[in-house]
Amino acid sequence: MSKEKKIKKRQPLTTQTPFIVLLAPYLVFFFVFTILPVLSAIVLSFTDFNMVTINNFVGFDNYIRLFLSDEVFTIALKNTLVYALVSGPVGFILSFVIAWFINELNRAVRTIVTFIVYSPAVAGNIFFIWLYIFSSDSRGLINDILMKLGLISDPIEWLSNTDYAFGIVMIVIIWLSFGTGFLSFVAGLQSLDRAYFEAAAIDGLKNRWQELYYVTFPQMGPQLMFGAVMSISGAFAVGNVNRQLTGFPSTDYSTHTVLLHLEDYATTRFEMGYASAIAVVLFAMMLLFYVIVQKVLRKFSD
Amino acid sequence: MRKRVICLGMSLLLLVTSFSASFTAFANQNAKTDTQLNEETQAVVDALNSSSKLSSYYDYYNHHISDTSHIGYVSVKGTDFTKADSSKIEEVDGVKAVVLDSGNEWVEYEIDIPEDGKYGISIDYYQMPHKEKDIEITIKVDGKIPFIESQQMALPRLWEDDIDPDNVPEGAYFECSDKNGAADDIRPSQREKSIWTTRDLIDLRGSYSEPYQYYLTAGKHIVRMELEREAVAIASISFGNDADAISYNDYIAQFSDADYVKSADGEDLTIKQQAEETFSKNNITLYPTYDKSGASTEPNDPAYTKLNTIGQANWSTNGFEFVWKVNAKKAGLYKLSIRARQNFNEGMFSYRALKINGEIPFKEAEAIKFKYRQGWYMLTLGNGDKENPKDYYVHLNEGENSVSLTCTTGDMDAVLRNIQQSVLQLNEIYRQIISVTSVQPDVYRDYTLDQQIPTLEDDLKAAEKFLKETSKIVQNITGTAGSQASSIDYVTKIVGELAVDPYIIPERLSSFKAAIETLGGLITTIGKLALEIDYLVFQPVDEATPPVGKGFINSLGFSCQQFISSFTVDYNMTATDGATADKADIVKVWVSTGRDQANIINRLIKDNADKLVTADGKKISIQLSMVDTGATLIRATLSGKGPDCALMIGENTPMELAARGALLPLTKYKAALADQFYESAWTPFYYQNELYALPETQVFDLMFYRTDVFEEMGIEPPKTWDDFYYVMEILQNSNLVVGVPEIDSANAGVSAGIRTFDKFLVQNGGTYYNDDLSETLFTTEKGYSAFEKWVELYSMYGLDRSFDFYSRFRTGEMPLALQSYTSYNQLKTAAPELNGLWSIATIPGTKMEDGTVNIGQTSINAGCIMLKSAKTKNIEEAASVFLSWWVSADTQAEYARELEATLGVAARYNPANKVAFEALGWTADEAAVITEQWESVTAMPEIPGNYLLKRAITSAFRSVMNGKNTPRRALTIYNTDINDEIMRKRIEFGIE
């Protein structure tokens, strides 16, 4: 891969012109709707922009406040990292493992199982079912079961009690994490070259784990990378689920994340400068993790 | 009202005491002979009479079920009264009549009844101008009210479309903002059609398809009519019943062959009457509707909304009627077809009674069945037989004929009253059970229910039997085991299982409750017989019925046109009024409501063009757009595409925008409006001593309670918190619960308030902030004590922290709750079986040192604002005239009235304008309760950073409930967060 890149770089600009022209429409959109907002967020993060009045340049004030005096941001940062570090890898590994299992099934069954596993991600707001399961009403599913079993006598406020809320959100996020990454694994496993498996078997492969490690992984580099990127961006952008389940803001900010903190400042407090600073930090965090994951995965695929 | 409620409650109480006997009697009515039945019911009715309490019509009806109905009429003229209470005789519209026009006026008549029997009452009346609600009267016979329903006999007002012929485009019927018809039709407002009309007194719930029957013995009787609501002139009153309509065969035998209208060359004898072009209707909600779903409904337009149908969901109440005037070129018999759609009541029929020139022509037209189907169909009047179809013809006179269709429950009336009775009975059983087991029973414990409630098994068995019979009736009518019948069967099964084995009751309690709710829901679905019709067509008998659709190709073309026009038509803009105005001085108004509301506002603007002028007489043009004014408003303002005014803005937004300099102050416009509002309506809209919004709505809590349960337990609705705790204890002893919302979750708005905490705080004389609004006052003794009282409700008294008020109130397991006064609407519309069994009162208060009770609380407000752009565009004056007009009493009252007219009681508006409030449809007693509460309402000022208030108080509350903090410690800690944020925001906005 890296060799090809170098060759392309050495090509004179004129031979690349057709490609650039063909790419232009997309590049324009990409610039206007992705690059420009990112750049403007970086610029705005150094101002006290509040959406209505003219903004003043405030230097690093926003960042200083964010890291040194905003206690809620610390909570949000901690929560986001825990969510990302647990649900990201767990979701990623689970996605792969389940895709790997499914791959052994015959075609019809495989389609059905794929559909079932993937459906929570497609169905969008289906996680509302968890609101019923963990409803704080005495008729909520879990409360009802526990009360019938005589384990508790009063309903537990699952989603507003700081002892439970965080864990419940974590479960739901993992449940939802079988997204596009999972699909790419299923597709990737399908497209593997059977010849390698045969060759490896002849070369003395001892068990399936070895097969997985020496044959499957190296072939699946791009899919693994894609899945990882998806699960990182998914894990860091956690927020909607928390909001729907535990309210906004949650009790004592127990399930607050960086994204929710950003929205809090942008939509209820209208402190866009500060919100931009949060966005920049979130962006930087995602970039950092992406680089780390890339390094780790390259070890497998090379 | 109060008296009525108590009477009702008492009679129910009596019913309950004689429960077993009466219930068995009613339940077995079909199985037993009439004499047996009479003996048993007689005992009950005698018991009721002996204690001089009112019986319901259900009992009255059953008591007199075997008495004969008198055919023919005994009439008395309105002016021939024997006694009267200051009633006037006037000539109204050419008829001499007695006029009743102020509350509780009455007239008495002496009537001579020829024979013992049942008499319906029919009144010839004229609606006198008043508050535009239906007229209600009480009928007393010989000084007694025969049954509860006799206290609320409705005489509906008649309405017609208010159409200005000058604005109607060529060939169209309705007004349109564009003269060529290239715009949406404007739904006409309904104006009163004041004509003399005759009406039987009927049950609007549809439990009885015949008029109310009064049992009268032969001889002289004194009948008194007492006005309850509105104003009316009465020309005559008739007692008796129509003879049964003749059968179709007898009807058609009256005519000779020459009477059949046959198609003739060169002459089009077909009469097509577009259903939306009505002559009159008897309810204000029966306005023209539209169907855009296909090409075939007439008239239609792919791009714009044309009002082309009538009826829909609003045409579903017993007695609701449309009248059309059709012109026949030739007298004779015609074939009648109706293009109709009934996609409202699955598996059921909607019934309509057809009248031609005021009379039902033949028996078969008493209840024409419209079957359920997703799409439109042509219903040709006939015997409905598939194999041997025969059309029924109707006779029209030459010239004008009046044709009417009236909603009726047909033979479903028996089902309705059975279910209503079942729900009341099952709820009673449910309450008896939970008084022993509590709502959350221990399933491993034997409550010995059969010993605790000896009648339980019999009651359940009787209920099961009663339901089984009801289900059978439904199946006989619908011909299939449709969803309604299966719902009843489901309930029957559950009740039956409980009857067989009372030991499983604790385990099955929740499904029993769900079953009762299902049954309650059926009343609303079965009793609502909605229908939509497109046109009626009278044809010569030898012509073929017109096709229902325009064919596939036309429909496809229409759909394509619809799709294409969806790119060009701006559906969010309801209209741009002022074709003559140049663009620059148009006042752009954003409103975040549904389309119906926006249409009403638009119509009000149009109708009041004469009031919307600037001081120098220039007409103001207003452009109304439907925009969800949340974050959009701020973004649009930022990009310069924002509006000049915005309506229905939550209470914290004006402050948020004002602090950022996006709003224009409205302080100088307050003076002219101040006396129409309570001070609490303005409070949240102040920022730095300037007013930034004019108040539109204001909502606060009321106490809802079940009068029947309170009567049964012999308790009064609590006035103070001490009473409240006492009542709560009594209710809890019977395992009933009390509902106090912990945190107002329905209003998740940032500063919606922590409603229960607020009540304690305000009643203690406390408030949120200090005088210069720079700090909270929660960490004062008043704040601490309010917080502690709030926490104690849940920690000490064990109230449920979250609950479904509506369903629990309905079953009666939560007979007392504090809820927003808008809950009234939901209960009124969706729980018809509870009508008369609940009431509202002011919230519990705190007894002050001088003996008075402080019932203070905070309110949730909304208002309208003017943005900076109004100044830059130099239309500040025009915008202010618009806003002042919009919140003024007349406009708000009219808006509220129209809203209720369009969407029904469920959409009753809650204006902040107290003058406008008086024009709404509350009864005098209800209005008195609301007003008393309203006067004690305070509102909290909005200050920058106060979004943290609700968060912090909520977190403090939860940390106490989760056992992490003591109340005082929690409040102190979280209060610091609030004050820090307030300080930070004050610095940001340069206040400090």
Give residue-wise pLDDT tens across range A65-93.
898 888 889 999 999 988 888 888 888 88
With H, G, I as helix, E, B as strand and everything else as coil, classify residue B702: strand
Number of Cβ atoms within 10 Å of the Cβ of B593:
16
H/E stretch holding A231 reads helix A221-236
ipTM here: 0.76
Please indicate if any CB of chain B lies within 8 Å of the CB of A61.
Answer: no
Label residue B395 by pLDDT band (50, 70, 90): very high
Q: How far is A51 from chain B (nearest CA, A)?
A: 6
Q: How much is the pLDDT for B506?
A: 85
Q: How many whole angstroms separate alpha carbon A90 and alpha carbon A149?
A: 32
- Angle at CA B565, nearest 5°, toward B564 and B566? 90
How many CB atoms sit inside 10 A of residue B386's CB?
Answer: 6
Question: CB–CB of A145/A200 below 8 Å?
Answer: no
- Tell whether the model's pLDDT for residue B556 goes beyond 80: yes
CB contacts of A270 in chain B (<8 Å) are 634, 656, 660
pLDDT of B639: 77
For residue B527, which of B765, B783, B345, B656 has the smallest C-alpha distance? B345
Res B50 pLDDT > 60: no
| Residues recorded for chain A | 302
**Is the sign of the CA dihedral A221, A227, A232, A233 positive or negative?**
positive
Rounded to a whole number of angstroms, the distance from the CA of A48 to the nearest CA of chain B is 9
Least confident of A224-233, B283-292, B552-561, B770-779: A224-233
Number of neighbouring beta carbons within 10 Å of residue A75 = 18
For tokens 């485009």, the residue is B169
Please report which confidence band the pLDDT of residue B760 belongs to, taking 50, 70 and 90 as the band edges. very high
Joined tokens for residue B29: 């009515």
Q: Return the ∠ at Cα B334 (arms to B331 and B340), rounded to 5°.
A: 135
Nearest to A51 among B442, B634, B951 (CB): B634
User: Given CB atoms, is B802 within the 8 Å cutoff of chain A?
Assistant: yes
The 3-state DSSP class for residue B202 equals coil
pLDDT at B27: 40
Cβ separation A52–B637 shorter than 8 A: yes
Q: What is the pLDDT of residues B204-252, one digit of tens each?
A: 877 888 889 999 999 999 999 998 878 899 999 999 998 888 999 999 9
B572 pLDDT band, cuts 50/70/90, is low
Q: By the CB < 8 Å criterion, does B93 face chain A?
A: no
pLDDT for position B749: 38
What is the mean predicted confidence (pLDDT) over A24-53?
88
DSSP B2-53: HHHHHHHHHHHHHHHHTHHHHHHHHHTTTTS-HHHHHHHHHHHHHHHHHTTP
Give the closest-approach CA distance of A269 to chain B in angstroms. Answer: 8
Whether residue B200 contacts residue B237, with contact meaning beta carbons closer than 8 Å, is answered with no
Measured between beta carbons, the chain B residues lying within 8 angstroms of A160 are 958
Selected residue of A58, A161, A251 to mutate for chain B interface (largest B Cβ count, 10 A) = A251
- Confidence class of residue B763 from pLDDT cuts 50, 70 and 90? very high
Partners of B510 on chain A (C-beta within 8 Å) are: 139, 144
What does the pLDDT read at residue B214? 93
Is the Cβ pair A137, B959 closer than 8 Å? no
Mean pLDDT, rounded, for B765-793 = 90
Residues 6+ apart with CB under 8 A from A9: none
Mean pLDDT of chain B: 84
Q: Does pLDDT of A122 surpass 50?
A: yes
Using CA atoms, how far residue A168 sits from A80, B165, B212, B932, in Å, is 15, 64, 58, 45
Q: Is B873 on the interface with A (CB under 8 A)?
A: no
- Cβ pair B802:A136 closer than 8 A: yes
Q: Report the range of poorest mean pLDDT among B43-57, B126-140, B359-373, B763-777.
A: B43-57
Pairing of strands B587-591, B622-626: parallel
Residue B959 confidence (pLDDT) = 87
**Secondary structure (DSSP) of B914-961:** HHHHHTSS--HHHHHHHHHHHHTEE-PPP-TTTHHHHHHHHHHHHHHH
| Chain centre to alpha carbon of residue B652 | 30
Give the minimum alpha-carbon distance from A101 to chain B in angstroms, rounded to a whole number: 41
- Residues 187 to 216 of A: which have CB under 8 A from any B CB? none
Contact at 8 Å (CB) between B966 and B960?
yes
Hey, which of A176-180, B34-38, B541-545 has the most confident mean pLDDT?
B541-545
Q: Is A138 on the interface with B (CB under 8 A)?
A: yes
Instruction: Supply φ then ψ for residue B332, to 5 degrees.
Output: 145, -170
C-alpha A266/C-alpha A278 separation (Å) is 10
pLDDT at position B361 = 92
The reply to whether A52 touches chain B by the CB within 8 Å rule is yes
Tokens standing for B228?
Answer: 């309850």
Contact A221, A300 (CB under 8 A): yes
Closest by Cα among B927, B941, B443, B310 to B688: B941
Question: Taking a C-beta distance cutoff of 8 angstroms, is the pair B126, B267 a contact?
Answer: no
Is residue B24 scored above 60 in pLDDT? Answer: no
> What is the pLDDT averaged over residues B173-193?
77
What is the band of B565 on the pLDDT scale with cuts at 50, 70, 90? Answer: confident
Residue of A236, A226, A230, A229 lying closest to A290 (CA atoms): A229
Axis-axis angle for helices A272-301, A71-103 (nearest 10): 30
Tell me the residue type at B69. Answer: S
A147 interface with B at CB cutoff 8 Å:
yes
pLDDT tens figures, B626-665: 887 667 787 788 777 888 999 988 888 888 888 888 899 9
B750 in contact with chain A, both atoms CB, cutoff 8 A: yes
The predicted structure's pLDDT at residue B889: 92
The C-alpha of A268 sits at a distance from chain B's nearest C-alpha, in angstroms, of 8
Contact status of B600 with chain A (Cβ, < 8 Å) = no
Residue among B656, B954, B962 minimizing CB distance to A270: B656
How does B664-685 read in b/e, with b if 16+ C-beta sit within 10 Å?
Answer: bbbeebeeebeebbbebbbbbb
- Furthest CA-CA distance within chain A: 78
Query: Of A103-107, B50-54, B84-88, which range is least confident?
Result: B50-54
Higher pLDDT, B884 or B832: B884
Ramachandran quadrant class, B533 (left: phi over 0; alpha: psi -120 to 50; beta: rest): beta
Please tell me whether the overall predicted TM-score, pTM, comes out greater than 0.90 for this model.
no
- Asked if the C-beta of A160 comes within 8 angstroms of chain B's C-beta atoms, the answer is yes
| CA distance linking residue A195 with residue A210, whole number of Å | 16
By Cβ distance, the residue of A50, A138, A160 closest to B660 is A50
* Distance of residue B521 Cα from the nearest chain A Cα, in angstroms: 20
Determine the 3-state secondary structure of A270 from DSSP.
coil
Does the pLDDT at position B45 exceed 70?
A: no
Kindly identify which residue of chain B lies nearest to residue A143, measuring between CA atoms. B440
> Is the per-residue pLDDT at B186 higher than 80?
no
Compute the distance between CA of residue B313 and CA of residue B343 in angstroms, rounded to an integer. Answer: 10
Higher pLDDT, B141 or B15: B141
Q: How far apart are CA B230 and CA B235, in angstroms?
A: 17
DSSP B263: -
**Which residue of chain A is at minimal alpha-carbon distance from B960?**
A161
Can you tell me the distance from the alpha carbon of B66 to that of B61, in angstroms, rounded to the nearest whole number? 9
Measured between CA atoms, how close is B826 to chain A, in angstroms?
21
How distant is the alpha carbon of residue A147 from its chain centre?
Answer: 36
Cα–Cα distance for residue pair A5/A1, rounded to 1 Å: 7
> Which of A48, A52, A261 is the mutation pick for testing B, counting most B CBs within 10 A?
A52
Q: Is the pLDDT of residue B18 over 60?
A: no
What's the pLDDT score for residue B972? 93
Widest Cα–Cα separation across chain B: 96
Beta strands B219-229 and B106-113 are antiparallel
- For residues B157 and B127, the answer to whether their CB atoms sit within 8 Å is yes
| Option in B662, B750, B962 nearest A163 (CB) | B962
Task: Answer yes or no: is pLDDT of B165 > 80.
Answer: no
Confidence band, pLDDT 50/70/90 cuts, at residue B961: confident
Residue B325 has pLDDT above 90, yes or no: yes
Q: What is the 3-state secondary structure (H, E, C) of B788-855?
A: HHHHHHHHCCCCCCCCCHHHHHHHCCCCEEEEECCHHHHHHHHCHHHCCCEEEECCCEEECCCCCEEC
Is B954's Cβ below 8 Å from some Cβ in A? yes
Q: Which residues of B touch A155 (CB under 8 A)?
A: 800
CA angle B19, B23, B28 (to 5 degrees): 160
B801 vs A48, A136, A139: nearest CB: A136
Cβ within 8 Å, pair A161-B804? no
Answer yes or no: are the C-beta atoms of A42 and A276 closer than 8 Å.
Answer: yes
* From A52, A137, A144, residue closest to B660, measured CB to CB: A52
Which residues does chain A have within 8 Å of residue B802's beta carbon, measured at their own beta carbons?
135-137, 157
Structure tokens at A43: 């610029």
Considering CB atoms only, which of A147, A161, A247 is closest to B440? A147
Which of the residue ranges A122-126, A157-161, B193-197 would you say has the lowest mean pLDDT? A122-126
Residues of A in contact with B737 (CB under 8 A): none
pLDDT of A1: 44
> Using alpha carbons only, what angle is made at residue A117 by residues A113 and A122, rounded to the nearest 5 degrees?
125
The pLDDT value recorded for residue B451 is 86
What is the C-alpha to C-alpha distance for residues B408 and B316, in angstroms, rounded to an integer?
A: 8
Does B964 sit within 8 Å of A157, measured CB to CB?
A: no
